[in-house]
Amino acid sequence: MNPERYLPRSLPPAMKGLTDLALDLRWNWNHCADALWKSVDPERWEATEDPWLILESISRKRLEALAADSTFLNELHRQLANRQAYLRQSSWFDKSHDEAELGTVAYFSMEFGLSDALPIYSGGLGVLAGDFLKTASDLGIPLVGIGLLYQQGYFHQALDTNGDQLAFFPYNNPTMLPVLPLQGSDGEWLRVSVELPGRTLWLRGWQAQVGRVSLYLLDSNDLLNAPGDRGITGELYGGGIEMRLQQEIVLGIGGWRLLEALNISPLVCHLNEGHAAFVILERARRFMEQTDRTFSISLLGTRAGNIFTTHTPVAAGFDRFPRKIMTQYFSDYAHHHLGISMDELLSLGHDHGSDDSNFFNMAYLALRGCGRVNGVSRLHGEVCRRIFLPLFSRWPKHEIPIGHITNGVHMPSWDSAAADALWTEHCGKGSWLSTLETIEQVWRRVDDDKLWSMRNQARQPLVKAVRRRLVRQHAACGVTKEGLMQCLQVLDPNVLTIGFARRFAGYKRPTLLLADPDRLTRLLIDAQRPVQLIIAGKAHPQDEEGKRMVREWNDYLRRPEVRERAVFLEDYDMGLAAELVQGVDLWLNTPRRPWEASGTSGMKVLVNGGLNLSELDGWWAEAYDPEVGWSLGDGQEHDHDSAWDAVEAEELYMLLEEEVVPAFYTRDEKGIPTAWMARMRQSLARLTPMFSCNRMAREYTEDYYIPAAAAYQRREAGNASLSATMKQWEVSLANHWHKIRFGQFSVQESLVRNLFQAEVHLGKLEPAAVQVELYAEALSHNSNPVRVTMDRGEMLAGSDNGYLYHATVPKGRPSRDYTPRVIPYHLEASVPLEANFIIWWE
């Protein structure tokens, strides 16, 4: 594709390549070209830091002047050479893996937070997806993103004169976004279609470039669509239940069809949340066409190549669609495209053990259509196994087939200039392009004075940025000139600075620090050891509780005595988030455990030397150690207990008063807070590599993607012959499992070992289709259950398919701890994900 074709006017020949530079969102984390763009238009750069917007807005006269500027052209050529060097250099994936073993990974997400220049995200889920694409680029992972190009995106927040939240939905003009229309083989704009009730929905394809990685986006704002359908991709998480269903059809079914139109055949589909689960159906449909197999065989074949990552900490958070609307949208698709009944399709989204059959659960579809499922932190993995336990009746909770890969953040996107300089000095410019093995040792050798200097340097630009934002914020409310001048006096670049910024929702308890306003005030205005607080966050426009909490903070901040020490910044977005995590000394997080699946905002302060004070939830539950920060709570769950909220509010105040503030202000003879520096060094050394997206992406690649790609290829080979035989195995299990029964179970004990014997009658099942095991529960939270495979012995006398199974177990636990059970067995199957059967000896 020639990007120059889509500019409103052509560039002078000498400027060739400037468009490529502007369209590659790598400028979002690689800042070596910042000076180049600033020289193009200093005012717009200061306001937006958006190269594409600058290029689209610049006058012809200025372009011609730059084309005659040898200094500018030399820098342009240098930056183009830098970009080419990045794209061509050998990557971690090149050095560690063969591309043939993975092919292409298609990463589906409802939102991507790459930059405020492309506002198609709302919060943590999208920012995580954006960080993942950036890291895939850095590491050379062969991945493409699939998402939606929203005409409005998520709402923008403003505050009125009373401190109440207002919501605005400005239009995203695609020509002013760093995306280009996709071209088909005929050179025209690439379009795909999906079927909606009584009509065809046309979808336009777009491409954003993220270094080595392409992000493909769909939008429905096509003139061939009816006015209502043109708005399907209008607002992120907007509209009612029907619009949400339509958006998820576009993402899943439309997204797969876009890949086909681009001749991309991914071996692995990664679903970032259940929003994209309809891709499971469409991928199976295409497999049916290619192999002439049934839907059930095709689903089994493609399942191995699908991965489902859930970020939801409560079952109520999953998307659920009423049976009636599902039937309206999918009855023709099920019958004509999948060859199954509507009841069969709906069964993929039901909990068969409950009476909740009137809703279709997208998470259940994702679980049943993917070969690997994971949560996003160790604790969240445990929570997910509890959430999905009803779908795996009689299985122990730890065997519910959901693992975890803890989230991480793309550190180069979130480091300050001061932090970047120190990282480059001690770890090298390419520190985030490899396996991070030496980082911990490096940071243990850096002097305290350098670390403290870095923190002080990073705090100063934050204070300046906050003042500028407050001026704009208050000017929009008609504040007097004198009031605007006061905005330039808030905060102090030498004071302990605490940040709290996130979505304002009840479970995040954003007002916990307001439990005792007078005590908080004393903390802020202490003459000897002052504290300053920066608050930011949006409440969903329909969340009245969240909007009330926004108002609570703004009511408190009207107190004259705290106006210079605490501020609320409106319209929390990626730009503001970067300023905060780069400059604050302490990041505060107060969710109700276990409702923070992972959380990544606190990870972003790590690279900048910031510390965390957080509830023992999400990532902090596995990261916390007294040497790296502070914890809140007892590590238990207390639900909506207001009395416990009061206990934790008291604990929060005490931690700040008795530990955090003293650690920051107790200095040695050189003016360095040595206790604070000790935690900062440990945090930098131990946590930064552990909670980087670099580590996360490598884990997905090696533990999930490569095994999934190999499993899919085995099931696809030979016109899906393996898939067909596995389906026969599944059908046999379903038809005959109820005939399995245990006979006698006995134990022969000796001084050193126990011999267990169990009679098992298999009915009409082949012995090779099952596995008989001894099972013993774990002795402690830190140990694992015991599973011992029993060997099949002679056939039982007088039985046509009964056998004596036996196993010898070393002495150590009482024999009564062990219970025999029968489970399905197939070398290629994931049990119980793909064969949810189990029988225990009673």
* pLDDT band at residue 186 under the 50/70/90 scheme: confident
Burial of 480: CB neighbours in 10 Å, binned 0-12, 13-18, 19+ = exposed
Residues of the chain with CATH 3.40.50.2000: 92-407+701-715, 411-419+461-691
Count CB atoms within 10 A of the CB of residue 800.
10
Residues of the chain with CATH 2.60.40: 740-840
Closest CA to 233 of 223, 214, 218, 255: 218
What is the pLDDT at residue 771?
98
- The class that CATH gives domain 411-419+461-691 is alpha beta
Give me the chain's average pLDDT, please: 94
DSSP characters over 743-770: EEEEEEE-SSEEEEEEEEE-TTS-GGGE
Assess whether pLDDT exceeds 70 at residue 266: yes
Using CA atoms, how far apart are residues 719 and 287, in angstroms rounded to an integer?
10
What is the pLDDT at residue 354?
63
* pLDDT band at residue 478 under the 50/70/90 scheme: confident
What is the pLDDT at residue 424?
92
* pLDDT band at residue 187 under the 50/70/90 scheme: confident
pLDDT by residue (tens digit) across 515-557?
Answer: 999 999 999 999 999 999 999 999 999 999 999 999 999 999 9
Assess whether pLDDT exceeds 70 at residue 597: yes
| Cα-based distances in Å from 747 to 49, 792, 799 | 73, 16, 22
What is the pLDDT at residue 281?
98
Q: What is the mean pLDDT of residues 406-419?
A: 96
Assess whether pLDDT exceeds 80 at residue 480: yes
pLDDT by residue (tens digit) across 693-708?
Answer: 999 999 999 999 999 9
What is the pLDDT at residue 353?
64
Assess whether pLDDT exceeds 60 at residue 231: yes
Q: What is the mean pLDDT of residues 124-145?
A: 97
Using CA atoms, how far apart are residues 632 and 636, in angstroms rounded to an integer?
11
What is the pLDDT at residue 2?
58
Which segments of 372-505 are extended strands (E)? 372-375, 403-404, 496-501
Assess whether pLDDT exceeds 60 at residue 511: yes
Assess whether pLDDT exceeds 80 at residue 373: yes
pLDDT by residue (tens digit) across 726-773?
Answer: 999 999 999 999 999 999 999 999 989 999 999 999 999 999 999 999
pLDDT by residue (tens digit) across 51-98?
Answer: 999 999 999 999 999 999 999 999 999 999 999 999 999 999 999 998
Assess whether pLDDT exceeds 60 at residue 419: yes
Q: What is the mean pLDDT of residues 423-450?
A: 90
* pLDDT band at residue 1 under the 50/70/90 scheme: low
Assess whether pLDDT exceeds 60 at residue 294: yes
Report which of residues 183 and 481 the model is more confident about.
Answer: 183
Q: What is the mean pLDDT of residues 717-731?
A: 98
* pLDDT band at residue 313 under the 50/70/90 scheme: very high
Q: What are phi and psi of 770, to 5 degrees?
A: -135, 170
Q: What are phi and psi of 498, to 5 degrees?
A: -110, 135
With H, G, I as helix, E, B as strand and everything else as coil, classify residue 359. Answer: strand
Assess whether pLDDT exceeds 80 at residue 357: no
Assess whether pLDDT exceeds 80 at residue 461: yes
Assess whether pLDDT exceeds 90 at residue 100: no
What is the pLDDT at residue 453?
95
In one-letter notation, the amino acid at residue 531 is V
pLDDT > 70 in the chain, percent: 98
Reported pTM: 0.96
Homologous superfamily assigned to 92-407+701-715: Glycogen Phosphorylase B; (3.40.50.2000)
Burial of 185: CB neighbours in 10 Å, binned 0-12, 13-18, 19+ = exposed
Instruction: Work out the angle at residue 235's Cα, subtended by the Cα atoms of residues 229 and 237, and round it to the nearest 5 degrees.
Output: 110
Assess whether pLDDT exceeds 60 at residue 4: no
Burial of 478: CB neighbours in 10 Å, binned 0-12, 13-18, 19+ = exposed
Q: What are phi and psi of 672, to 5 degrees?
A: -105, 130
Measured in whole angstroms, the distance separating CA 504 from the mean position of its chain's CA atoms is 19
What is the pLDDT at residue 837?
97
What is the pLDDT at residue 68?
95
Using CA atoms, how far apart are residues 669 and 207, in angstroms rounded to an integer?
56
Assess whether pLDDT exceeds 70 at residue 583: yes
- Structure tokens, 104: 């292409």
What is the pLDDT at residue 717?
97
Q: What is the mean pLDDT of residues 663-681?
A: 96
What is the pLDDT at residue 356?
63
3-class secondary structure per residue, 460-483: HHHHHHHHHHHHHHHHCCCCCHHH
What is the pLDDT at residue 428?
86
What is the pLDDT at residue 408?
98
Q: What is the mean pLDDT of residues 451-464?
A: 96
Dihedral sign, Cα of residue 370, residue 283, residue 132, residue 432: positive
3-class secondary structure per residue, 576-605: HHHHHHHHCCEEEECCCCCCCCCCCHHHHC
Using CA atoms, how far apart are residues 702 and 205, in angstroms rounded to an integer?
31
What is the pLDDT at residue 239?
86
Is the domain covering 740-840 a CATH 2.60.40 domain? yes
